Structure 1
Amino acid sequence: MSNVATVLGGLDSELGWIRETYTELHRHPELSLEEHATSTMVEAKLAAFGYSVSRIGGTGVVGVMLNGEGPTVLARADMDALPVTEATGLPYASQVDGVMHACGHDVHVSTLLGAAKLLAEGRDAWSGTYIALFQPAEEIGAGSQVMIDDGLATKVPRPDVAFAQHVMPLPAGTVATTAGPVLSAADSLKIVVYGKGAHGSMPHMSVDPVVLAASIVVRLQSVVSRQVKPGDFAVVTVGALKAGTASNIIPDHATMLLNIRTYDPHVRSTVLAAIERIVRGECSAAGTSREPDFEYYDQFPATSNDAAVTEGVHASFVAHFGADAVHEAQRQTASEDFSRIPDAFGAPYTFWLLGGADPEEFQAAAAKGTVAKDIPANHSPLFAPVMDPTLSMGVQAHVVSALSYLAAQ
């Protein structure tokens, strides 16, 4: 019997509590940095499994299993929910008004706990160190940094490799991997431009920040089309423009909220520099007497998978699940803060996608070309991964990836 088969041999008997953990998490979601009950539950389970458990970063939890000589593997799950009102109608729907696990972090927590228990009980099949890390506040891009700032890199062994997975609206029973960029970097940017207020009947007495902001918005549309090389990816979105309070008053300032998505660090720096240059140039042309303000927030790093690690995990997935269940992941324009954790250790990583959509519904929608319309995506109030086989696949993916490094030879 292989090492993987040995460790996963007890999976069927564990799925009951894994499903129960998932439904309880879904019923009782907690927002970013408020994951108190979730952390307490995770802490208790890891301790019961035999892990050395630490609280790092307030609600962050890390379990370490030392099992002889060998590599150190870190696997991460995020725990926070979203300020979304659930509309799934599930019997285990959220019982917290206006809060929902609309991104699948309940899947992430329950599957990593399942893998942690199986690896603890199957220690004869592997050698090394396994770290199960449960991160808060991924949704606001802050949780990984909170743990790092609290000394994560000095409080746990340095991993040789790090893993994470994310449930997505792909067919349940499948996983998807890719080397290189898989999730984009994201930068939110608040820009305030200052003019000179005046009455609407006396526009010549003003420096109109509304006209100035409108000019900036139009000019920003040329950043991607004219300053980013064709074939490179970038998105610049102006999500909000706010100015004034009345129709006959020219205000003295305008505020714009932007979101920028990129994969490549050079493209990112090019785009951000172009935005600031355009804003300053338009302010100068308008004759403003005050420089604009730039405030960056909710920043997420790009997630770019190590090629060698990804190749090895992909091969292990194919060997275990079969080639039909392992797909090539398409790059996503969503963002994550997982990569800060392995980067803090200088460790390579890979981040894969876990299918969570009903396979029959997905195939029917794919045949009609209506997947985007018919299959609820992450952050939707209708997002509801099917428990089976999603949870089983998630547990297996964690175990298989870990044993691709830890399996006793």
Structure 2
Amino acid sequence: MNRNQELEQVRTWRRDLHQIPELGLDLPLTKEYLLSQLEKLNCTIEHPIEHAVAAFFDGGKEKTIAFRSDMDALPVKENTGCEFASKTEGRMHACGHDGHMSNLLLLAHRINEIYQDLPCNILLIFQPGEENPGGAAPIVQTGIFERYNVAAIFGLHLWPLLPAGQVATISGPMMASATEIDVEIFGKAVHAARHQEGIDALKIGMQFFGYAMALEDTLPANVRRLLQFGKMSAGRVRNVVADYCILQGTMRGFDFETISFLRDGLEEIARELEHQTGATIKITWSEAYPPVHNDEALVKQIVDQLEGIEILDEPVMIAEDFASYQQEVPGVFFFLGTGTGIELHDSRFNFDEEILLQGADLFEQLAHLQF
């Protein structure tokens, strides 16, 4: 395909996929669409976990390099006004995963023509469940990297805050570890006129919030972290002491020590408030994605050998389960600019498919490097 034909093809893929958004790990329509495109090529296809798709181009080399795309959408009501909008009410590809898949499909078609001449075999991984509950770790646990002797892995994410088509990365920490937090406080309800006889879960929730913010402030200003509670619910009626309160928040950081400090500190606050008030406090932690940490040697090699890659000023506070692959083999994650300024997860999220050609260019150049 020439450049114009590639653009028409990648636009078709992206818009087809955009109309069939699916959530989490259960992506039968998306999987079947990808298979319909990959089965035409000279690759071996397998499903490391249900609804994941892996395509292996065997060039007879000792090592393999892998490229990954996520597949899942979000529970968002679309507001783009596009004629190719989601056909499923309340679901939308608002994080660009339709673009990521189309980018990798274009790479697959390019690799299909040249894989025997590349220095490494090529493994393409289409992964469900990036948004929730995390599909990367289960794929790693299947042993797929050992079976194909994967030496390095690469991925990218569309990024609204970069100019259209601009590729960027950073050496070392790039994206945060993220843990979701539910703090449940169980008190004792009594009429407000006898409030001294109750245990006010709402008041204790407010105290917990204040102590939590003070805990975060004890960390030095140069330690990048985030502790934020965005939702709090309590009580049933205005003149009864609340017997239940829940705070829901998120905690993010780039190193184990910071995360452990915040987590241990919140548990200590809970125990102290229990002792002071007689309430019962339960903290539930989601399983955290590790931080995305780009291999320093790989980043140096890539920046030295490829042109046009921008270095980010600092890591970002969002999370990505691509990090689970980097726990297994060296890897580098990239951002690909959309130039729109419309944030990820926004119901208006959209982009010009022409940028996907730059994404495929990047990956094809990486496929020619010796790792």
Shift of 1:187: 0.4
* CA distance 1:348–1:399, shift in 2 (3 Å): same
What is aligned with 1:33? 25
Instruction: From 318, 321, 336, give the equivalent of 1:354.
Output: 336
What is aligned with 2:85? 93
CA distance in 1, matches of 2:359, 2:223: 32
CA distance in 1, matches of 2:149, 2:35: 21
What is aligned with 2:366? 401
Detail structure 1 runs of 4+ shifted over 4 Å in the superposition.
9-12
Residue 322 (structure 2) pairs with residue 331 (structure 1): no
* CA distance 1:137–1:308, shift in 2 (3 Å): same
What is aligned with 1:381? 347
- Name whichever of 111-120 and 279-288 sits farther off: 279-288
CA distance in 2, matches of 1:113, 1:194: 51
AA at the equivalent of 1:398: F
Richer in helix (by share): 1
| TM-score, normalised relative to structure 1 | 0.86
Identify unmatched segments of 5+ residues in structure 1. Answer: 1-8, 359-374
SS of 2:39's equivalent in the other structure is: helix
What is aligned with 2:216? 224
Shift of 1:95: 2.2
CA distance in 2, matches of 1:156, 1:79: 23
Shift of 1:71: 2.4
- Name whichever of 43-52 and 181-190 sits farther off: 43-52
CA distance in 2, matches of 1:283, 1:258: 20
Matches within 5 A, 1:279-298: 279-288=270-279, 290=280, 292-297=281-286
Residue 247 (structure 2) pairs with residue 263 (structure 1): no
| TM-score, normalised relative to structure 2 | 0.94
Residue 227 (structure 2) pairs with residue 244 (structure 1): no
Shift of 1:298: 5.7
Matches within 5 A, 1:294-373: 294-297=283-286, 299-318=288-307, 323=308, 326-329=309-312, 330-343=314-327, 346-357=328-339
* CA distance 1:310–1:141, shift in 2 (3 Å): farther
Shift of 1:267: 0.8
Residue 8 (structure 2) pairs with residue 48 (structure 1): no
Q: Residues 362-388 of structure 1, C-alpha deviation per residue, up to 9 Å, x if partnerless?
A: xxxxxxxxxxxxx21111111111112
Shift of 1:205: 1.1
Q: Residues 212-239 of structure 1, C-alpha deviation per residue, up to 9 Å, x if partnerless?
A: 111111111112211x222011111112
SS of 1:43's equivalent in the other structure is: helix
- Name whichever of 165-174 and 155-164 sits farther off: 155-164
Shift of 1:12: 4.7
CA distance in 2, matches of 1:77, 1:354: 13
CA distance in 2, matches of 1:125, 1:356: 32
AA at the equivalent of 2:304: A
Residue 1 (structure 2) pairs with residue 17 (structure 1): no
Asked if the contact 1:180/1:306 (under 8 Å) is kept, the reply is yes
Asked if the contact 1:193/1:283 (under 8 Å) is kept, the reply is no
Shift of 1:269: 0.8
What is aligned with 1:71? 63
CA distance in 1, matches of 2:183, 2:297: 41
AA at the equivalent of 2:260: S
CA distance in 2, matches of 1:155, 1:47: 24
AA at the equivalent of 1:404: L
Residue 102 (structure 2) pairs with residue 102 (structure 1): no
